[in-house]
A and B are shown apart, each in its own frame.
Chain A
Amino acid sequence: MHHHSTTEIVEEFTEPSYDKLLDHEYDGIREYDNPLPGWWKNLFYLSILFAFGYWGYYHFGGSALSVQQIHALEVAQANAEMKQRRGKDFEKNLANDFQKIVGNPQSIAKGKEAYTKNGCLACHRPDGGGLIGPNLTDRFWIFGPQPVQIYKAISNGGRPNKGMEAWGKKIAPDDIKALVAYVISLRGTNPPNPKKPEPDETPFP
């Protein structure tokens, strides 16, 4: 017997001893006392460190923004970009824009395409005669017959529970303008079996 130094004791435990069978046995199954794989141990420690690091960083540290706050920033940025994309006086210029668009055969053709593509016909019928949504060919209007008024009805949507959603979220402004041209082109076409005006529709001359 001799005195063991600390280093020898440390070596005793760090020295890998592979494939040493343990003395127990269960229904013929034996077990090795192999050491834990180093990469396994290290990745485990790292994942624990990461957990604390992540928690600290996102809840107390540098980027303590909630997902809701991040969303608000994204929305603000997108709105700014949208404004830039459409130009400062987008709304003011609308009325002017329509002077060129309404009645223009190219715009009407483009609008007809958008009318089909975006499913307008599902509620207003392919010929505009009205189904779930009102008849677009008569002189009765809920939000008014002017191009800008129609533009806003499409872009901002109709009344709650009436099915007309704010299409401005889904259809680009140029396509909505073309839709307006197309809808106006349907006026007075007298399709068969048109839908009767609803009580809250106002007649315009």
Chain B
Amino acid sequence: MEHVAESQRLEKFVYDDDITRKFVFATVLWGIVGMLVGLIVAFQLVLPWLNLEIEWLTFGRLRPLHTNAVIFAFACNAVFAGMYYSSQRLLKTRMFSDMMSRIHFWGWQLIIVIAAITLPLGITQSKEYAELEWWVDLLITAVWVIFSINFFLTIRIRRERHLYVAIWFYIASLIAVAMLHLFNNLVIPVSLTKSYPIYSGVQDAFMQWWYGHNAVAFVLTTPFLGMMYYFMPKAAERPVYSYRLSILHFWTLIFLYIWAGPHHLHYTALPGWASTLGMVFSIMLWMPSWGGMINGLLTLRGAWHKVARDPVLKFMVVAITFYGMSTFEGPLLSIKSVNALGHYTDWIIGHVHNGTLGWNGFLAFGMVYWLMPRLFQNTIWKPQWVELHFWIGTIGILLYIVSMYVAGITQGLMWRAFDPKTGLLAYPDFVDTVMNIRYFYWGRALGGTLYLTGAILCGINLYMTWATRTKKEYDEEIQEAPALQNIHFGEMKTPSRLRERGAHVADIAYKIEALIQLYWHRKWERLPLTLTVMVVIAVGSASLFEIIPTFAIKSNVPKIASVKPYTPLELAGRDIYVSEGCYNCHSQMVRPMRAETERYNFPTVDPNASFASQSYSKPGEFIYDHPFQWGSRRIGPDLHREGGRRTDDWHYKHMMNPRGTQGEVLVENSIMPPYPWLAHKPTDFSILPKKIWAMRLLGVPYTLEQEKTSIQHAKAQAKEIADRIRMKGIPGKHEDKQIIALIAYLQRLGTDILKEYQNNRM
């Protein structure tokens, strides 16, 4: 092959590092912003007054802003920085189009700014990490398509025949994210600020966690593995430990990951088979994940002395270690009986931050520090700060995750504890379980403060390294490489140890040798299209295997005759519930466990009734829920059996001030923020016919008559509730206010099924 290369004329080109610089700045800037919002919400949980009674700053609206900012602004910008820097070098070419690179950059930053405005305004689809409304989703799609075209065309014009493992991971990320984003965001828009997903209830939950879990896979794992495969051997100046491990863990990882989503829905109304699939695939995913860790850590063999000196390597080693821990913890938490304890608790928050602060954050920071002198052609402004950042960051992570583990497991155990003397729940008052973990909430907030401090040090260092650069114009090193030639694979000499040894064996032996030596994969690496098609098959087939039965098998969601669509006012109230982000703290999913059916029992049902213990949520109860509101965390109690538990005026007072007043204590020690604006913001009645129209389009059995009369109907129901609370001594005219619609929804929650039971009894 060498003589061919020699005869080839060398081509000259330069890499586009300006785009990497842009993404690096964006990474650190948005990282600080996203972590700051995270810190604010962490403090809001211990100091509820920090919600400031301002609607844009309440926990329910800021928490999605935090998750979106750190995932899509911090992590994604880091991924893009890493991808643009490494791909050009691994493919020996400048990006296909500088213009497309910049459309990608500015488009993405625009999306982030839109997210930072719309989420605090309560404009949300309420699906975790897919909160942004339909038109922002379209914008994301457009930018992603431009980015993908640019990336694939860069592969096309490459000067390196084979694609390195980092590129495989990038390809998988591009393909899978596009697929996930499209299918989880299929909605019917009602206005610029509201849409309804085409799925409902169980199916919506299934699609959401297929998406949510794989966002972790293809946004926070695969591209970061790709970056690890480039920056780790670069920084350590050591060869990658094992090529064949790369191949095996890449394919098994992307194939197995896709199936594991339902482990987010154990013990819910999801069918048992799907739950089991989610669990066993998560367990099978353990070793493929660890393949990446092994390849990362063992690459350092013979270079550990460098780790002691070089903070960049320290960041990377700790990142990979946290990757190993969280990918062990993931399968552990996916085991149903472990999940029964951990789900809805802070254990999950600890697990997530183990991965994000440790793996994503530290890999990103390690990469940024490695890039800094290279991108700005200047020494790092304060090298000792890098070391400092590493240590306070590491202590911050440990403080954070240990606090969350203790808090989560404590709360999980308290929820399920029964008093052996009385046989009743040991902690029937939910707020008692919250009070017990508040010290750990402080620990988390302190850990977060340390971590953010580190990020700020990085930001200052980055800015100063740029500001103190000596060169006005960066030197652009001219690269040389021969153009790619069309060498047919068959012409290449197949390396064969059998042939080297002169073995006399049957032809089949050579074929087996090629298979075992993964030589076929060398061929795929030469053929980006083939590789891409294989990736599509791997992630697509796995998805279809789960999605088709979930939608096709009727018995997965048995209908319940007494479950009826919401009234127009309740629907309006539900949309307020969604908009305020109530699902961030309250689940609507009573699991079939005695500790739950006791705590979240049917209110006011004779305990001797045969169905009294059947209060766990049934799939058929959610068929009109577009979107589902099962939630993923119980900072407050579950609300699925809230309907009819309390009076309308209790809800009114509780929303105005959850702790009540001095003369009238409601939930002492509650950490819920007050929602005073609900009492003066008007309900939008005029949009109701359009909402009902959209629901009818989605198959919710409203009649045309109901669509036409929805406004009158809603106003009549609102008047009833408003009259009721006025009779209870709450002054003012509330019939057209949001609070009334919300109360209507809360009082309806989970009550329909009772009619079914009572009818059957009679």
- In residues 378-435 of chain B, which contact A (Cβ within 8 Å)? 419, 421-425, 428-429
Contact B650 A24 (CB under 8 A): no
Contact A58 B276 (CB under 8 A): yes
Chain B residue at minimal CB-CB distance from A40: B287
User: With A and B bound together, what is the CA distance between A22 and B336 in angstroms?
Assistant: 43
Given contact pairs A9-B498, A156-B606, A161-B747, A47 touches B283 in the complex (Cβ within 8 A) = yes
| CB < 8 Å neighbour of B429 from A37, A119, A164, A166 | A119
Interface hit among B134-142, B233-241, B309-317: B233-241
**A-chain residues with CB within 8 Å of residue B646 when the two chains form the complex:** 132, 163
Contact B424 A172 (CB under 8 A): yes
Q: Is B286 an interface residue (CB 8 A)?
A: yes
Chain A residue at minimal CB-CB distance from B287: A44
| CB < 8 Å neighbour of A36 from B244, B283, B422 | B244
**A-chain residues with CB within 8 Å of residue B644 when the two chains form the complex:** 160-161
A162: min CB distance to chain B, Å: 6
| CB < 8 Å neighbour of B90 from A1, A27, A44, A55 | A27
Given contact pairs A9-B503, A158-B604, A67 touches B272 in the complex (Cβ within 8 A) = yes
Question: Which size bracket describes the interface of B in this complex?
Answer: 35 or more
Contact B604 A157 (CB under 8 A): yes
Given contact pairs A4-B503, A24-B162, A75 touches B597 in the complex (Cβ within 8 A) = yes
Given contact pairs A59-B276, A163-B650, A29 touches B230 in the complex (Cβ within 8 A) = yes
Interface string of A5-19 (1 = CB under 8 A from B): 000010011000000
**B-chain residues with CB within 8 Å of residue A37 when the two chains form the complex:** 245, 294
**B-chain residues with CB within 8 Å of residue A40 when the two chains form the complex:** 245, 287, 290-291, 294
Q: Is A92 an interface residue (CB 8 A)?
A: no
Contact B650 A123 (CB under 8 A): yes
Given contact pairs A47-B287, A78-B594, A9 touches B505 in the complex (Cβ within 8 A) = yes
Q: Is B504 an interface residue (CB 8 A)?
A: yes
Q: Is B705 an interface residue (CB 8 A)?
A: no
**B-chain residues with CB within 8 Å of residue A97 when the two chains form the complex:** none
Contact B283 A50 (CB under 8 A): yes
Q: Is B273 an interface residue (CB 8 A)?
A: yes
Q: Is B50 an interface residue (CB 8 A)?
A: no
Contact B239 A29 (CB under 8 A): yes
User: With A and B bound together, what is the CA distance between A158 and B605 in angstroms?
Assistant: 9
Contact A55 B89 (CB under 8 A): no
User: With A and B bound together, what is the CA distance between A4 and B513 in angstroms?
Assistant: 14
Chain B residue at minimal CB-CB distance from A24: B162
Contact A168 B616 (CB under 8 A): no
A34: min CB distance to chain B, Å: 4
**A-chain residues with CB within 8 Å of residue B374 when the two chains form the complex:** none
User: With A and B bound together, what is the CA distance between A81 and B164 in angstroms?
Assistant: 64
Given contact pairs A43-B287, A71-B592, A170-B425, A33 touches B601 in the complex (Cβ within 8 A) = no
Chain B residue at minimal CB-CB distance from A41: B287
User: With A and B bound together, what is the CA distance between A2 and B503 in angstroms?
Assistant: 7
Contact A4 B501 (CB under 8 A): yes
**A-chain residues with CB within 8 Å of residue B294 when the two chains form the complex:** 37, 40
Contact B607 A155 (CB under 8 A): yes
Chain A residue at minimal CB-CB distance from B164: A26
Q: Is B280 an interface residue (CB 8 A)?
A: yes
| CB < 8 Å neighbour of B281 from A26, A28, A51, A173 | A51
Q: Is B511 an interface residue (CB 8 A)?
A: no
Chain A residue at minimal CB-CB distance from B90: A26
**B-chain residues with CB within 8 Å of residue A113 when the two chains form the complex:** none
| CB < 8 Å neighbour of A169 from B164, B243, B601, B616 | B601
**A-chain residues with CB within 8 Å of residue B240 when the two chains form the complex:** 29-32
**B-chain residues with CB within 8 Å of residue A50 when the two chains form the complex:** 280, 283
**B-chain residues with CB within 8 Å of residue A4 when the two chains form the complex:** 498, 501, 503-505
User: With A and B bound together, what is the CA distance between A6 and B385 in angstroms?
Assistant: 60
**B-chain residues with CB within 8 Å of residue A123 when the two chains form the complex:** 650
A10: min CB distance to chain B, Å: 11
**A-chain residues with CB within 8 Å of residue B666 when the two chains form the complex:** 122
| CB < 8 Å neighbour of A33 from B244, B290, B645 | B244
Q: Is B114 an interface residue (CB 8 A)?
A: no
Most buried by B among A31, A82, A160: A31
A21: min CB distance to chain B, Å: 6
User: With A and B bound together, what is the CA distance between A82 and B314 in angstroms?
Assistant: 58
User: With A and B bound together, what is the CA distance between A71 and B590 in angstroms?
Assistant: 12
Q: Is B660 an interface residue (CB 8 A)?
A: yes
Chain A residue at minimal CB-CB distance from B340: A67
Q: Is A105 an interface residue (CB 8 A)?
A: no
Q: Is B214 an interface residue (CB 8 A)?
A: no
Given contact pairs A33-B243, A34-B242, A158-B604, A54 touches B650 in the complex (Cβ within 8 A) = no
Contact B509 A9 (CB under 8 A): yes
- In residues 581-618 of chain B, which contact A (Cβ within 8 Å)? 591-594, 597-599, 601-607, 613, 616
User: With A and B bound together, what is the CA distance between A44 and B288 in angstroms?
Assistant: 8
**B-chain residues with CB within 8 Å of residue A24 when the two chains form the complex:** 162
User: With A and B bound together, what is the CA distance between A181 and B654 in angstroms?
Assistant: 30
Q: Is A68 an interface residue (CB 8 A)?
A: yes
**B-chain residues with CB within 8 Å of residue A28 when the two chains form the complex:** 234
**A-chain residues with CB within 8 Å of residue B473 when the two chains form the complex:** none
**B-chain residues with CB within 8 Å of residue A43 when the two chains form the complex:** 286-287
User: With A and B bound together, what is the CA distance between A74 and B607 in angstroms?
Assistant: 16
Q: Is A171 an interface residue (CB 8 A)?
A: yes
Chain A residue at minimal CB-CB distance from B660: A122
Contact A71 B593 (CB under 8 A): yes
Contact A82 B287 (CB under 8 A): no
Q: Is B485 an interface residue (CB 8 A)?
A: no
Chain A residue at minimal CB-CB distance from B516: A13
Q: Is B267 an interface residue (CB 8 A)?
A: yes
Contact B423 A78 (CB under 8 A): yes
Q: Is B128 an interface residue (CB 8 A)?
A: no
User: With A and B bound together, what is the CA distance between A7 and B160 in angstroms?
Assistant: 39
Given contact pairs A51-B283, A166-B607, A171 touches B501 in the complex (Cβ within 8 A) = no
Q: Is B248 an interface residue (CB 8 A)?
A: yes
Contact A169 B425 (CB under 8 A): yes
Contact A34 B503 (CB under 8 A): no
Contact B242 A166 (CB under 8 A): no
User: With A and B bound together, what is the CA distance between A9 and B503 in angstroms?
Assistant: 9
Given contact pairs A85-B423, A157-B605, A169-B607, A75 touches B613 in the complex (Cβ within 8 A) = yes
A22: min CB distance to chain B, Å: 6
B265: min CB distance to chain A, Å: 12
User: With A and B bound together, what is the CA distance between A75 and B288 in angstroms?
Assistant: 40
Contact A121 B665 (CB under 8 A): yes
**B-chain residues with CB within 8 Å of residue A66 when the two chains form the complex:** 272
User: With A and B bound together, what is the CA distance between A31 and B241 in angstroms?
Assistant: 6
User: With A and B bound together, what is the CA distance between A83 and B429 in angstroms?
Assistant: 24
Task: List 16 A-B residue pairs with CB atoms under 8 Å apart, sorted by A's residue number.
Answer: A27-B92, A28-B234, A30-B233, A40-B287, A47-B286, A47-B287, A50-B280, A51-B283, A59-B272, A68-B616, A119-B429, A121-B665, A125-B664, A132-B647, A168-B607, A170-B429
**Which A-B residue pairs are the 5 nearest by beta carbons?**
A170-B428, A51-B280, A157-B604, A44-B287, A172-B422
Q: Which residues of A contact B (CB under 8 A)?
A: 1-4, 9, 12-13, 21-22, 24, 26-37, 40, 43-44, 47-48, 50-51, 54-55, 58-59, 66-68, 70-72, 74-75, 78-79, 81-82, 85, 118-119, 121-123, 125, 131-132, 155-166, 168-173
**Sample of 8 more A-B contacts, CB < 8 Å, known A161-B747, A166-B607:** A4-B505, A9-B509, A36-B244, A37-B245, A66-B272, A71-B594, A163-B646, A164-B604
